[in-house]
Amino acid sequence: MPIQSINPINNQLIQEFEEHTDKDIEKVLSRAESTYNHWRRVAFAERTQLMLAAAAQLKQRKTHYAQLMTDEMGKVKQEAIAEVEKCALTCEYYAERAEKFLADESLSVPEGEAYIAYDPIGAVLAVMPWNFPFWQVVRFAAPNLMAGNVGILKHASNVPQCALALEEVFREAGFPEGAFQTLLISNEQVNYLLEDRRVRAATLTGSEGAGSSVARKAGEQIKKTVLELGGSDPFIVLADADVAQAAEIGVKARMINCGQSCIAAKRFIIHRSIYDDFVTLFLQKMQQLKQGNPNEVETDYGPMARADLADELVNQVQKSVAKGAKVLLGGARPNREGAFLDATVLTNISPGTPAYDEELFGPVACLFKVDSEDEAIRIANDSPYGLGGSVWTQDIERGKVLARQIESGAVYINKMMASHPAVPFGGVKLSGYGRELSHLGIREFVNQKTVWIN
Ligand code: NAP
């Protein structure tokens, strides 16, 4: 079946691509193996130069790459440019620090001398989602190429142009052919790759269904995986919080990328004493957002990435409403072409409804009123997910206490969740396992080898 690039502004086909065949896959695997045998021995200084060249290439062509994202998945152009800039920053981050992160680490032993050496492992398969089509890939590629591994990308089927452009970034930066390759393939072909001895590990960012399928197959082959899956992050506003600031940032945290972010604030858990004030401000800010063409500067949020995703989200909202949830704002697809969905706010949400139990991956905020901090934590943790979360309070020490009680891979205090190359990123529970970014991310796919000398 051809892979289609469809513009979600109007659901028009932009371009079709033929899927790569088994023969193409074989070529990619054999190139990956021979490149790895050379690349693993290349000095850090040379890898650094190439990674800095990749950063320069991203900066130089940022408008072009941003346009590909806007066209294929509807990201607002300014957010798309910022995404490419963040990719460049991450390439620079690892170019400058990889050698230090992977330096031999001496061990205290009863006799002789011992240390840990961090060796590369080979070709790593990356299965990636469409929501941050450049960022998700670069946060995998930059540390792994610097570590001496080579990468094979299977991107989401709706962003083939982005997938091919990412291969171009590394090729034009001067990386050897085979260091980073893109395959346009089906999910079934992913299994074929996982079974091949030349693929040594896999990382997947996406839904838990996809994650569990790839992890199962990799597990059969005793291959390591890192999984970055869904999230339903709590945004807890305590009685002493700066309500105006929390409401303003809360709207941003929910609506970035038209709500299609794994670490978007999805469940707003608000203390009863400030609930009404928060809701008034939150609704005001949500109503002020301008929905429209993502290419226009005044647009705050564009269409969702695909029409079927917008339909599915409306379905989750309607099922929740049928079981008692109340719509304070939006709740429907507007009367226009494209994958649009109006900014939506729900309240009165009970367990057993999609709004309570599932991830709402789009512009829908869920509000909960609570009587105490204990109740806030109980609701925050009453989710199958555990990716991020935030706490809003003027009492930082209290915030830190609550942060330790939230079951998630990260908690930010008085700050919107956002990734940064310097901080580890990843989840617990159904949000997955393993960490990306920082010094932890670069150590996921290396052989942590012990050397002991008598
Ligand atoms: P998805 O449907 O799971 O797709 C993600 C990737 O997995 C795509 O490349 C997809 O390919 C592939 N895939 C799907 N099923 C597969 C299978 N059975 N075997 C092998 N590969 C498979 O997820 P999505 O809808 O694109 O992305 C949204 C989800 O990703 C949300 O849950 C979001 O929270 C999560 N996400 C998590 C993070 C994080 O860092 N934790 C970041 C961003 C997004 P096709 O497109 O060809 O199906």
* CATH, residue 260: 3.40.309.10
- Ligand 1, atom 21, residue with closest C-alpha: 187
Pair 221, 285 in one domain: no
- Active site (annotated) includes residue 228: yes
Total tally of structural domains belonging to the chain:
2
Q: Is residue 265 part of a domain?
A: yes
Question: What gap in Å lies between CA 109 and CA 308, rounded to an integer?
Answer: 58
Pair 289, 225 in one domain: no
Q: Is residue 358 part of a domain?
A: yes
- Active site (annotated) includes residue 162: no
- CA of 131 from ligand 1 middle (Å) equals 9
Give the atom of ligand 1 at the shortest distance from the alpha carbon of 425.
40
- At residue 270, the pLDDT reads 98
By C-alpha distance, which of 71, 232, 287 is closest to 159?
Answer: 71
Pair 220, 331 in one domain: no
Pair 319, 379 in one domain: yes
253 three-class SS: helix
- CA of 379 from ligand 1 middle (Å) equals 26
Q: Is residue 425 part of a domain?
A: no
Q: Is residue 353 part of a domain?
A: yes
Pair 161, 36 in one domain: yes
Pair 250, 158 in one domain: no
Using left for φ > 0, alpha for ψ between -120 and 50, and beta otherwise, residue 60 falls in alpha
Helix (H) or strand (E) holding 442: none
Catalytic hit among 79, 92, 208, 228: 228
Question: What gap in Å lies between CA 141 and CA 50, rounded to an integer?
Answer: 13
Ligand 1-lining residues (CB < 6 angstroms)? 127-131, 136, 154-157, 187, 190, 205-207, 210, 213-214, 228-231, 262, 359, 361, 387, 427, 431-432
Please state whether beta strands 113-120 and 432-433 pair in parallel, antiparallel, or not at all (unpaired): unpaired
Residue ranges in the chain whose pLDDT is less than 70: none
Q: Is residue 157 part of a domain?
A: yes
197 is in which domain, residue-wise?
Answer: 3-229+431-453
- At residue 1, the pLDDT reads 81
- CA of 255 from ligand 1 middle (Å) equals 20
Helix (H) or strand (E) holding 127: strand 123-127
- Best probe residue, ligand 1, of 140, 207, 438 (max atoms within 8 Å of C-beta): 207
Pair 211, 279 in one domain: no
- Ligand 1, atom 14, residue with closest C-alpha: 210
Pair 410, 447 in one domain: no
Pair 253, 136 in one domain: no
Assess contact for 51 and 93: CB atoms under 8 A. Answer: no
- Ligand 1, atom 18, residue with closest C-alpha: 210
Q: Is residue 426 part of a domain?
A: no
Pair 248, 343 in one domain: yes
- List Cβ<8 Å contacts ≥24 apart for 110-118: 111/454, 112/452, 112/453, 112/454, 113/452, 113/453, 114/450, 114/451, 114/452, 114/453, 115/450, 115/451, 116/448, 116/449, 116/450, 116/451, 117/449, 117/451, 118/147, 118/443, 118/446, 118/447, 118/448, 118/449
- CA of 106 from ligand 1 middle (Å) equals 39
Question: What gap in Å lies between CA 93 and CA 244, rounded to an integer?
Answer: 34
Pair 416, 439 in one domain: no
pTM of the model: 0.98
Question: What gap in Å lies between CA 413 and CA 408, rounded to an integer?
Answer: 14
Which CATH number is 139's domain given? 3.40.605.10
Catalytic hit among 87, 91, 258, 262: 262
How many alpha carbons fall within 13 Å on the CB side of residue 113?
5
Pair 205, 255 in one domain: no
187 three-class SS: helix
- CA of 261 from ligand 1 middle (Å) equals 12
- CA of 298 from ligand 1 middle (Å) equals 30
- Ligand 1, atom 36, residue with closest C-alpha: 206
- At residue 129, the pLDDT reads 98
127 forms bridges with which residues in the sheet?
154, 204
Triad 131, 133, 137: Cα angle to 5°: 120
